Structure 1
Amino acid sequence: MTVAVGGRRGVDLSNGLENIPVLIERSPDEPTCPEFQYSPDNVQGPGCTVDPSEITVPGCSCITQSCFTESCSCLQAHGRAYNNTRILLDLHKTNTGYCSPVFECNALCSCGDTCSNRVVQRGLRLRLEVFSTWNRGWGVRTLEPIKCGKFVCEYAGEVIGFEEARRRQLAQMTGQNNYIIAVREHAGTDSVTETFVDPAVVGNVGRFLNHSCLPNLFMLPVRVHSVVPRLALFAGRDIDVLEELTFDYSGGYSNQPSVELLSTRSDAAIQASRTDGLQRKACHCGTKNCRQFLPLDLSILN
């Protein structure tokens, strides 16, 4: 079905499952859109022992529409992540490579749906369009300005276990895209939580986001109803209309190019990036600090 969003017309890729249609423009000159099942939320896949839709996080007993730190058990336990306009706080921490955990109010909380601590769970609220890039297949661009710190979309798909992620990675044929994102959270010296999300077969608009070595989005694990985090993408700077949305597949983010990344990789470094017969794909982001190759999570393969 053809829909109109923000003065543009196209097919709703989400088939009405999102709050706002996700446009995709198709023409004879553009590549065929891959077949996949659209899902705005994570689904349980092989090796995942917890259903992402199961409510496992306790709620607050606030009686106000929006929670206050002085009285909300959620905010007292985990801190305030957003301001009153649902903009992410402490953005400067994203440049360090580390961030504080984000917990939103959930289905067990008694606060209202308009609570400022409910952001990612409200789903897609921006007008986005999937389009054909000239050298990187499909991509995603915004049809409206996006303020720094605003939630953009999730990277949703099948939540799978480590062994399944490794099996899928090794089974990939030459030329196939790798959609698996591995997120590791460190809660202490010996406490590491790993989450693997693969939107190749079941996923949302996030599966079309391209990598950039100097991206405008960054990813944060956000817990809402479940202990399984939702991989949320936020704007790292103000983003203009029709600008392509990108994030660093390795999880990094910086508004400025890193000096270390400007150096050319040696032959030895390129050879070390190959493992189990897999050749890293060239990066075509075109930024001044381009690392030449897309990130590859070697820990899944070893």
Structure 2
Amino acid sequence: MASLIDLNLYPDSPADVTGAASTLTAPKLEPKEEPFDVHTNYTNPNFDFSLNTQPKISQPAEQAVDETDVYSEFNRISKMFQTAFSGTPERYDDATFTDPDSRAIVPVQEENQHSAVADSSRRRNQQRSGELVRVTNLGFEDERYFRLVVRKTRMMYDSLRVLVSMEDEKRKSNNNLFGRSRNARGDLRSASVMKDRCLWLNRDKRIVGAIPGVYVGDIFFFRMEICVVGMHGLPQAGIDYLTSSQSSNGDPIATSIIVSGGYEDDQDAGDVIIYTGHGGQDKYSRQADHQRLEGGNLAMERSMRYGIEVRVVRGFRYAGSPSGKVYVYDGLYNVVDSWLEVGKSGFGVIKFKLVRMENQPEMGSAILKYAESLRNGPLQSRPRGYMCMDMSMKKENMPVFLFNDIDDNHEPMYYDYLTSSVFPPFVYHCGGNGGGCNCVSGCTDGCFCAKKNGGEFAYDQNGLLVRGKPLVFECGPHCSCPPNCRNRVSQNGIKNRFEVFRSKETGWGVRSLDLIQAGSFICEYTGVILTREQAQLFSMNGDSLIYPNRFGERWAEWGDLSQIFSDYVRPSYPSVPPLDFAMDVSRMRNVACYLSHSSCPNVLVQLVLYDHSNFAFPHLMLFAMENIPPMRELSLDYGEADEWTGKLSICN
């Protein structure tokens, strides 16, 4: 394996330093206990959805402080802050830290790096490890592997959360047969179930620095999801750290923080953060007491002294998020300074200055703000490179931009824009129309169209794909339900502002100016549908043809809960014959034709029928496999290459 676990904080570590380190003693400062993870006990392995218990979160008790003399208390804490480690200068003097082995990051046994870092599902002991490691020098295959592991875990979490929410909706609509309806948090319950089944990542190693498979700019809608992937292990506290009792040298070490504006003294300038330590707040999030150099605060100070970087996740309110907020991973920062001062509330607060490390991708939070300025700002403020403000010529619900700041190529403007595939006339006369539902005000469980889908709708109330299926039946022209019916998702066109852009790597690519939630509909892959005989003639002329039967079956991954339910069976209804047609995109196409290929895609193909009932000629609808941040390229698995030409079925 090309991936390495850095065994020491410093690269030139001598082989044996335990003797010198063992003479050092830790200061007598006991940190506060970590708040335990939000967790609801589920003992039924089949996950009984009738359990609707609201988890209880306990808060650590605050120590009493004599408030008769605020400044006397402030001076006392300030003196403690300055002299806490003066009793052991031989250990905490800055010069001492030139010792190659700080004992903060400890050696690990040689083993397969995949199982050591990411695949914690094989380990039944899910207590968080006290072993600090750093992962470095990952090769391409390692990066791809870890990204697949993270993506699979996030898909499982999203699918389970959607499923839990749907079950709760059914329970509420059933006249509260189980008594008074309680508010169930799908994000909490899903994380709890995954933790019970040992599906949280990176529990067996405490990783310092970047988490393999998590990219700068990745977006999370729920804080529990950050815990599931191992980015930040505490669902409430802003500082995640290794406690002194777990540390190999008795010092707490901070590994990550969440900056969400919870403290009035915070200052965030992007690359530089003035971060307020935790503690001293009342139940209304108001500073009501002095902060102390303990717990996470002490861990931040120790990380500064040892030169250990911390991960920074920013959280802020965002319109359209299912939780009302988004959390963005913005990369690694160094803690460069710490001090105590009187805060705005008049109480002593501990502050830390963090500076972003160089040579990292652009911050995801900055890209979010940039995309927002493009969406809401005047056209005159857009950067140079926009060659067309709507390739669809108003055929789509939202504009499709064309951007090229590399050369003068504007080829996508030469094609007629096609919002929906064009099928041969005989398709609409084969197989019958199958009838439609009689739901006047919108479809409900048990209607005719739900039965066609195997007794359940493919989408939740928010239009998210619950799980992939061989074929999805949407309501069509013979149904009585309105256009906003929950079973009419993909036929109503795009809902995001897409941009076809010129790329040095892929030629042309597609990105969105909007944040796309996992499971959301993106667009249809359109073209003129040809039979096999027609395709053979067209291919002789060298026209661009797409063969849908070669696309990877990524739909099977979305909603795969086989690791949650022991009796999970991959959806097989209805049985669809092999797709024996081609799509001509040589003259008419849409934005989907410019999606690039990836073996680890963020978009899947879901077959859908709505305007006819011919199983052999479904629509190719694209859905998001993960939360896709603005300005991140969309990718699709085009599957197998042509056996003759060796090329993928892709027109880009």
**With structure 1 as the length reference, what TM-score do the two structures score?**
0.70
Counterpart for residue 77 of structure 1: 452
Any conservation in 1 of the 2:458–2:487 contact (CA below 8 Å)? Answer: yes
Report the Cα offset of residue 51 of structure 1. Answer: 5.3
Distance 1:187 1:83 in 2: 19
What corresponds to 2:633 in structure 1?
244
Q: 1:134 to 1:89 in 2, by over 3 A?
A: same
Q: Paired residue for 1:49?
A: 426
- Distance in 1 (CA, whole Å) between partners of 2:533 and 2:375 is 41
Matched with 1:21 is 399
CA distance in 1, matches of 2:546, 2:624: 21
8 A Cα contact 2:472 2:608, kept in partner = yes
Aligned to 2:605: 219
CA contact (8 A) 2:524 2:619 kept: yes
* 2:246 match: none
| Identical counterparts, % of pairs | 33
Q: Which structure 2 residues correspond to residues 40-189 of structure 1 after superposition, within 5 A?
A: 40-44=419-423, 49-50=426-427, 56-63=433-440, 65-70=441-446, 72-79=447-454, 80-91=457-468, 99-172=469-542, 178-183=544-549
Retained in 2: the 8 A contact 1:43–1:51?
no
Deviation string, structure 1 residues 248-267 (Cα, Å, up to 9, x no partner): 1128xxxxxxxxxxxxxxxx
The alpha-carbon distance between structure 1 residues 163 and 187, as it changes in their structure 2 partners (threshold 3 A), is: farther
Q: Which of the pair has the greater relative contact order for Cα pairs under 8 Å at 6+ separation?
A: 1
Which stretch shows the higher mean deviation, 4-13 or 210-219? 4-13
1:286 equivalent in structure 2:
none
Deviation per CA, 1:172-199, whole angstroms, max 9, x where unpaired? Answer: 3xxx8x4413238998899545342222
Letter in 2 for 1:183: N
Aligned AA (1:78): N
Residue matched to 1:203? 589
Gaps of 5+ in 2: 1-373, 554-571
Higher-Rg structure is 2
What is the Cα deviation at residue 154 of structure 1? 0.6
Give the partner amino acid of 1:142.
S
In terms of fraction of residues, the more helix-rich structure is: 2
- Deviation string 1:90-130 (CA, Å, 9 cap, x unpaired) is 25xxxxxxx33100011211112211101011111111000
Q: Do the aligned partners of residues 14 and 191 (structure 1) sit closer, same or farther apart at CA in structure 2, a change above 3 Å counting? A: closer
The correspondence for 1:11, drawn from 382, 385, 389, is: 389
The corresponding residue for 1:37 is 416
Q: CA deviation at 1:242?
A: 0.3
Higher strand fraction: Structure 1 or Structure 2?
A: 1
Q: Deviations over 1:222-275 (max 9, x none)?
A: 001113311000001111110001101128xxxxxxxxxxxxxxxxxx9xx752
CA distance in structure 2 between the partners assigned to 1:241 and 1:28 by the alignment: 20
Deviation at 1:78, TM superposition (A): 1.6
8 A Cα contact 2:548 2:582, kept in partner: yes
Residue identity opposite 1:17 in structure 2: K
Amino acid at match of 1:141: R
Contact in 1 for aligned 2:514/2:630 (Cα 8 Å): yes
Q: 1:29 to 1:42 in 2, by over 3 A?
A: same
Alpha-carbon separation, structure 2, partners of 1:189 and 1:50 = 18
Indicate the larger mover: 187-196 or 104-113. 187-196
Q: Which residue of 2 aligns with 1:290?
A: none
- Quote the Cα distance in structure 2 between the aligned partners of 1:26 and 1:112: 40
Note the aligned Cα RMSD (angstroms). 3.0
Unaligned runs of 5+ in 1: 92-98, 252-269, 282-293, 297-302
Q: Which moved more, 1:27-36 or 1:104-113?
A: 27-36
CA contact (8 A) 1:62 1:109 kept: yes
**Structure 1 179/239 Cα, relative in aligned 2: closer, same or farther at 3 Å?**
farther
CA distance in 2, matches of 1:189, 1:146: 30
Looking at structure 1, the residues matched to 639 and 540 of structure 2 have their Cα atoms a distance apart, in angstroms, of 19
Q: 1:190 to 1:118 in 2, by over 3 A?
A: closer
Q: Residue 157 of structure 1: CA displacement?
A: 0.9
1:200–1:207 CA contact under 8 A, matched in 2? no
Alignment of 1:252-291 (within 5 A): 275=644, 278=645, 280-281=646-647
- Determine the C-alpha separation between the residues in 2 that align with 1:137 and 1:51: 37
Structure 2 counterpart of 1:180, which letter? I
